[in-house]
Amino acid sequence: MIAKIKPAFFSLFPLLLCLFALSAQAGELPDFTKLVQKYGPAVVNISTKQKIHRQRMVLPQGLPQLPDNSPWNDLFRHFFGQQGQGGDNNGPDEYDAQSLGSGFIIDSDGYILTNYHVVEGADEILVRLSDRRELVGKLVGFDKRSDIALLKVKASGLPVVKIGRTEDVKVGEWAMAIGSPFGFDHSVSVGVVSAVGRSLPNESYVPFIQTDVAINPGNSGGPLFNLDGEVIGINSQIYSRTGGYMGVSFAIPMDVAMNVVAQIKSKGYVSRGWLGVLIQDVTYELAESFGMSRPSGALVAKVLKGGPAAKAGVKVGDVIVKYNDKTVDASSDLPWLVGNTPVGSDAHMVVIRNGKKRDLTVRIEELPKEEQVASNQAPPRHVSDNRLHMTVTDLTADQRKELGLDQRNGVVVQQVDAGPAYDAGIRRGDVLAMMNGVGVESVAQFRKLVKALPAGKSVAVLVQRRSGPIFLALRVPKA
pLDDT tens for residues 303-362?
988 899 999 999 999 999 999 989 999 888 899 899 989 989 999 999 999 889 999 999
Point out the least confidently predicted range of 24-33, 115-124, 470-479.
24-33
- Looking at the fold, whether 190 and 230 belong to one and the same domain comes out as yes
In a domain, 192, yes or no: yes
Given 300, 332, 366, which residue is the final one in a domain? 366
- Looking at the fold, whether 169 and 204 belong to one and the same domain comes out as yes
User: Would you state the torsion angle of the CA atoms of residues 223, 225, 229, 230, taken in this order, to the nearest 10 degrees?
Assistant: -80
β-bridge mates for residue 104, sequence order: 43, 113
Catalytic residue, candidates 47, 99, 117, 204 = 117
Point out the least confidently predicted range of 155-169, 354-368, 381-395.
381-395
Please write the tens of the pLDDT for every residue from 231-265.
999 999 888 777 777 889 999 999 999 999 999 99
To the query of whether residue 348 is one of the catalytic residues in this protein, the response is no
- Structural domain tally of the chain? 4
Please report, for the domain that includes residue 91, its CATH number: 2.40.10.10
From residue 324, give the alpha-carbon distance in Å to each of 56, 129, 166, 417.
56, 42, 18, 45
- Looking at the fold, whether 254 and 351 belong to one and the same domain comes out as no
Please write the tens of the pLDDT for every residue from 358-381.
999 999 998 886 543 322 334 444
- Looking at the fold, whether 230 and 290 belong to one and the same domain comes out as no
Q: What is the pLDDT of residue 379?
A: 41
- Looking at the fold, whether 172 and 204 belong to one and the same domain comes out as yes
- Looking at the fold, whether 178 and 128 belong to one and the same domain comes out as no
In a domain, 29, yes or no: no
CA 206 – CA 203 distance, rounded (Å): 6
In a domain, 66, yes or no: no
In a domain, 23, yes or no: no
Catalytic residue, candidates 99, 146, 147, 296 = 147
Q: Which domain holds residue 250?
A: 163-267
In a domain, 421, yes or no: yes
> DSSP letter string over 175-216?
EEEEE-GGG-TTEEEEEEEEEEEEEETTEEEEEEEEE-S---
- Looking at the fold, whether 306 and 400 belong to one and the same domain comes out as no
- Looking at the fold, whether 304 and 386 belong to one and the same domain comes out as no
Given 152, 179, 200, which residue is the final one in a domain? 152
Catalytic residue, candidates 47, 146, 220, 296 = 220
In a domain, 2, yes or no: no
